[in-house]
Amino acid sequence: MSENKKIRVATCSLAGCFGCHMSLLDIDEKLLTLLELIEFDRTPLTDIKHCSPCDVGLIEGGVCNAENVHVLKEFRKNCKVLVAVGSCAITGGIPAMRNNIGLWECFQEVYQFEGGLEGGQVPNDPELPLPFDKVHPIYEVVNVDYFLPGCPPPADAIWKFLTDLLAGREPKLEYEMLHYD
Amino acid sequence: MSQCDSPDLKQRLAPILQKHGRDPTKVLQILREIQDTAHCICGQSIDLIAEHLDLPRVRVAGVAGFYSFLAGGQACGEYRVLFSDNITDHMLGKAELMDYFSKKLWLEPGKVSEDGLVSVDSTSCTGMCDQGPAALVNGMPLTNLDENCLDLICELIRSRKPVSDWPPMLFEVQDNILRKDVLLGEAFEPGAALKATLARGPRETWAEVDKSNLRGRGGAGFKTASKWSFCHAAIAEEEGHVVCDIGDRAERIMVCNADEGEPGTFKDRVLLNSYADLVFEGMTVGARVVGARRGFLYLRGEYAYMLGKLEGVLQQRREKGLLGKNILGEQGFDFDIEIHLGAGAYICGEESALIESLEGKRGRPRNRPPFPVTHGYLGHPTVVDNVETFACAAKIALHGGEWFAAMGTGQSAGTKILSISGDCERRGIYEYPFGTTIRQILQDCGAEDPYAVQVSGPSGTTISWKEFDRMIAFEDLATAGAFMIFKRGRDLFQMARNFSHFFAHESCGFCTPCRVGTTLMQRIMDKIDGGHGTASDLEEMKNLGQLLKTMSHCGLGTSAANPVLDTLNKFPDVYEQKLKALAFEPAFDLDGALATARRITGRDDKEAHLGAES
Amino acid sequence: MSNTITIDGQTIPFQEGQTIMDAALAAGVYIPHLCHNPEFTPHGSCKLCTVTVNGRNVASCTMPAVEGQQIANNTDELNAKRRALTQMLFVEGNHFCPFCEKSGNCNLQAVAYHLDMMSPHYNHFYPAREVDASHPDILLDRNRCILCELCVRASRDVDGKEVFGLSGRGIDCKLVVNSSSGDLVDTDLAATDKAASVCPTGAIIVKRHGFSVPIGQRIFDHKDISQVQLEAAQKERGHE
């Protein structure tokens, strides 16, 4: 790896809670070291809206609607290495709890029964992403190169994973860094 | 309406419960009869059976949920029409006919008509491949179906005519025996093999079976004489006797496996229809050799229509002194045969699952060791042999082992009965000496431009036209009897896909690799069929295939991937022409998964769709 | 006769009547397993404990140890297949570790950690499965059931009640309970029963104990399942 060429990294959260992003920030002062090695492309941190060609894409969250698919495919197209970060990206996670509840029941709950919304309508604005019947992990929609489990993955695991990857090593987590919760 | 709802259920079930006494091994037989009477197994029926047999309710419910014909708690129509789903039925128009029939009756397959009158569904191969498309109506076989025939059946159903009063020609089943050799060709005098056995003595008869090199005809090809001696030794050892000494204190069991569930196989149906004496005599010879007093014929549920006829043959044999006490006047030679019906579960063809089913349980293959020959039915040493094996044994008892061993090849003595179906002029039963080539068989049955043959059914081997000089023999192509022919132009992918559905449907669910792996395999085949398959899906199927082959609990799992692996290996183009050029395709239909939301929101704008390019 | 078998080159003793799994656990050799629990009759369904004996794959929990067996256990090939089976168990059910009370104490999860399972790999089934919260003290969440039948065995063989059983077939197999209503509350299951505590996953849990052990102090937070189960086997031997 040439020292003056930084690794370009993009991140996003699909159907997720940004918890994995928070865990990324949780690597604390090591962020400064990290920033010497990488530069950010599209991320919620830079507020860049579209992904340009990158070395690594980190995806948090599962795929719950049409917009998620557009974003995910943009990442897949632009990122040499795509990483599923966290339980939702890997199994659907908490949002997938709705997978055995009909979409109509979900809509009713959100738009009609919720306090203050009695008698409300299900919105049909084309601006709103249309939800899928079920929430899926991202590997069911695009090819994924690596998985970094956890809810969220601990900061140390993210650090270990990224530094392995940046050093050209096959990422390997210690026992205590690998967990699904 | 379902008769389960009737308040007098208890009275209605009483005769069935009384008939079977309080024997817990009768659970399946009781459930079958209740299903036939009430068209469903409701919770109350399960309560009543559990109470009657003094069994935990959960055990009865477990059995009721296992077998396809018991409908798993769901109601089915007063008339239940089940279309045979084998690939040979499909090649003869099954899908179109089932669709025609369902539309005519305003029915959705898998659901019961609102008046509870009729339900239509698919079922695994009913063993009528030489006279398909086939179906079962309330257990009675329908063959050579066409639209005219279905029109008539619709009329009969609408007029609520009991199936027992339908024109008998609807239920005609042909033997279609087209080539006979020593098993099917010679007339057999009931009792002749038993007389020879008694004259020769049990030990000497065992020696003849040993000399004959007879191997099991169910496909696995275990040496019959060895199985018999193990079963015998199991007790003889405990009693301090030597192998083949006929002790009479401990019980041994002789079971005839007539759970002919392998799609494409129907030779046992013909043997039982027209050669039942030969089969029962073979069982009785075996009983004499191992010292068994009880025998069972495990008859697949699809062949229940033969029950009456077979009971009749057994009765005649009892009257002639060929079954029962002191057979042929021989003091202490007691043996009788009971018929036990299956209820739609291919796995029960596996010998230990069959024994579980005989005991009235879920048909789940046992852990081995111990093997059935030492710990079988209710723990007794048990021999389970194929229908055809017993027919051979009777002939060997009659003519001697050398006579039999002289036929066939080095490792495969005797003849093999094949059930030939698919693309040929003369479908039916052919008996050949082992060693006959595929080419010869194809020529004899008038195969038109043959391209591939599925030997021994889905669990067997798919061979291509390049391999037609191979032969039917344990040392080359071992077979339980299925022989399905596919001419050039047939889509072999659809054959493999049909078989992948079959295995997923028939997996017992006990072990992880088979329970989940067969369903994963089926889903990938469906994905490819839907035009969404990629090269990575083929790799996935190869990996799944290896997992099934090496990690499964029983033969169903280890062979479940055969059709996919064989076709991937020998006919890769049938997959490649269906694949997308892309390396990866989503696991599910993205646009289809938005349909519900589109319907709810009423949206149909561009953003409400996901095309292939998105 | 010396009564020894060899696992991955290590010769270990066995006693007559022991399975390969029994002998291995006693000798401190870990073979991954889920449906097996040394307290109960071996079952042989999960197939994670498959080992290669003289070239043939067998379930070590049901295969008797026989003098001279040459056994391959901790090989890359077998572990890859065990991982695939574990992944199958994850996708056929609804296993969401982040909100499961059993997380950190769950054998399914721990075996997955042991086998370095980074994702469930296969496409999820997301099956619709019933949750039964009818019982005042015990929750039955079929989403998390792996059909190991430990509860079936425990209830039948230890509690003498036969509260649980399996119904259905193939991928539709499901755990059913011994009551006409189909509800757990109408069975005689008690929270003190063995069957209420034997579940290796979070399918059967005693209510009001969820999350009582903080993260960091749960069974598998710092210890691999191999270590936990071998220590348990050793302790058991100490008692004998």
Mean pLDDT within C209-225: 94
Q: CB of B56 within 8 A of CB of C179? A: no
What are the backbone dihedrals phi and psi of residue C92, each rounded to the nearest 5 degrees, phi first?
-75, -20
Average pLDDT over chain C, rounded to an integer: 96
What are the pLDDT digits (tens) for A12-50?
A: 999 999 999 999 999 889 999 999 999 999 998 888 989
- Give the whole-angstrom CA distance, residue A136 versus residue A91: 7
Q: Residue B58 to residues A31, B37, C156, C181: CA-CA distances in angstroms?
A: 58, 22, 11, 11
What is the four-CA torsion angle of B9, B13, B14, B19, rounded to 10 degrees? 180
Mean pLDDT within B559-574: 97
pLDDT recorded at residue B243 = 43
pLDDT recorded at residue A101 = 95
pLDDT recorded at residue B386 = 98
Q: Give C-chain residues touching A100 at CB under 8 angstroms.
A: 94, 126-129
Q: What is the per-residue DSSP string for C42-66?
A: ----S-TTEEEETTEEEETTTSBP-
Q: Which of residues 36-75 of A touch C (CB under 8 A)?
A: none
pLDDT recorded at residue A114 = 75
Chain B: partners with 3+ C-beta pairs within 8 Å:
A, C
Shortest Cα distance from B368 to chain A (angstroms)? Answer: 36
What are the pLDDT digits (tens) for A46-74?
A: 889 899 999 999 999 999 999 999 999 99
Chain A: partners with 3+ C-beta pairs within 8 Å:
B, C
CB pairs under 8 A between A and C: 76
In A3-141, where does DSSP find H-type helix?
Answer: 19-25, 30-37, 66-78, 87-91, 103-107
Q: Residue C20 to residues C12, C15, C44, C55, C229: CA-CA distances in angstroms?
A: 10, 10, 12, 15, 16
- Say whether residue A98 is in contact with chain B using an 8 A CB cutoff: no
C-alpha torsion sign, points B259, B262, B263, B265: negative
Residues in chain A: 181
B367–C178 CB contact, under 8 Å? no
- Left if phi > 0, otherwise alpha if psi is -120 to 50, otherwise beta: which for C148? alpha
What are the pLDDT digits (tens) for C146-184?
A: 999 999 999 999 999 999 999 999 999 999 999 999 999
- Say whether residue A82 is in contact with chain C using an 8 A CB cutoff: no
- Say whether residue A98 is in contact with chain C using an 8 A CB cutoff: no
- CB-nearest to C113 from A146, A147, A175 is A175
pLDDT recorded at residue B233 = 77
What are the pLDDT digits (tens) for B297-316?
A: 999 999 999 999 999 999 99
What are the pLDDT digits (tens) for C89-125?
A: 999 999 999 999 999 999 999 999 999 999 999 999 9
- Say whether residue C166 is in contact with chain B using an 8 A CB cutoff: yes
Both tokens of residue B323? 């079954």
pLDDT recorded at residue B248 = 46
Instruction: Give the domain A7-174 fold.
Output: Rossmann fold (3.40.50)
**What strands lie across the sheet with B336-341, from one edge to the other?**
B336-341, B294-299, B253-258, B382-386
pLDDT recorded at residue A2 = 46
- Give the whole-angstrom CA distance, residue B456 versus residue B73: 33
Average pLDDT over chain B, rounded to an integer: 94
Mean pLDDT within B478-502: 97
Q: What is the band of B241 on the pLDDT scale with cuts at 50, 70, 90?
A: very low
Mean pLDDT within C128-141: 98
* % of chain B exceeding 70 in pLDDT: 95
pLDDT at B239 exceeding the cut of 70: no
A130–B614 CB contact, under 8 Å? no
Q: Give A-chain residues touching B606 at CB under 8 angstroms.
A: 126
B57–C180 CB contact, under 8 Å? yes
Q: Give B-chain residues touching C88 at CB under 8 angstroms.
A: 512-513, 516-517, 520
Mean pLDDT within B119-144: 97
pLDDT at B581 exceeding the cut of 80: no
Mean pLDDT within B32-41: 90
Pairing status of strand A38-40 against strand A63-65? unpaired
- Give the whole-angstrom CA distance, residue B334 versus residue B381: 17
A181–C119 CB contact, under 8 Å? no
pLDDT recorded at residue A1 = 45
pLDDT recorded at residue B244 = 41
Mean pLDDT within C123-128: 97
Q: Which domains occur in chain B, in start order? A: 3-73 (no CATH), 79-171 (3.40.30.10), 178-405 (3.40.50.11540), 415-490 (3.10.20.600), 493-576 (1.20.1440.230)
Mean pLDDT within B54-58: 97
What are the pLDDT digits (tens) for B527-550?
A: 999 999 999 999 999 999 999 999
pLDDT at C2 exceeding the cut of 90: no
- Give the whole-angstrom CA distance, residue B251 versus residue B24: 19
pLDDT recorded at residue B247 = 44
Q: Maximum distance among all alpha carbons in chain C?
A: 56
**Burial profile C91-100: b = 16 or more Cβ within 10 angstroms, e = fewer:** bbbbbbbbeb
Which residue of chain A has the CA closest to C128? Answer: A100
pLDDT at C3 exceeding the cut of 80: yes
Chain C interface residues (partner A, CB cutoff 8 A): 90, 94-100, 103-104, 109, 112-113, 116, 118-121, 123-124, 126-129, 215, 221-222, 224
Q: Give C-chain residues touching B369 at CB under 8 angstroms.
A: 64
pLDDT at B246 exceeding the cut of 70: no
* % of chain C exceeding 90 in pLDDT: 96
- CB-nearest to A142 from B584, B607, B608 is B584
Query: What ipTM, to 2 d.p.?
Result: 0.97
pLDDT recorded at residue C1 = 53
Angle at B540 between CA B538 and CA B542, to 5 degrees: 70
In B239-342, where does DSSP find H-type helix?
Answer: 267-274, 276-290, 307-319
Q: CB of B231 within 8 A of CB of B206? A: no
Q: Give B-chain residues touching A126 at CB under 8 angstroms.
A: 603, 605-608
Chain C: partners with 3+ C-beta pairs within 8 Å:
A, B
Mean pLDDT within C8-21: 97
Q: Residue B133 to residues B83, B125, B424, B534: CA-CA distances in angstroms?
A: 8, 10, 15, 33
pLDDT at B420 exceeding the cut of 80: yes
pLDDT recorded at residue B249 = 46
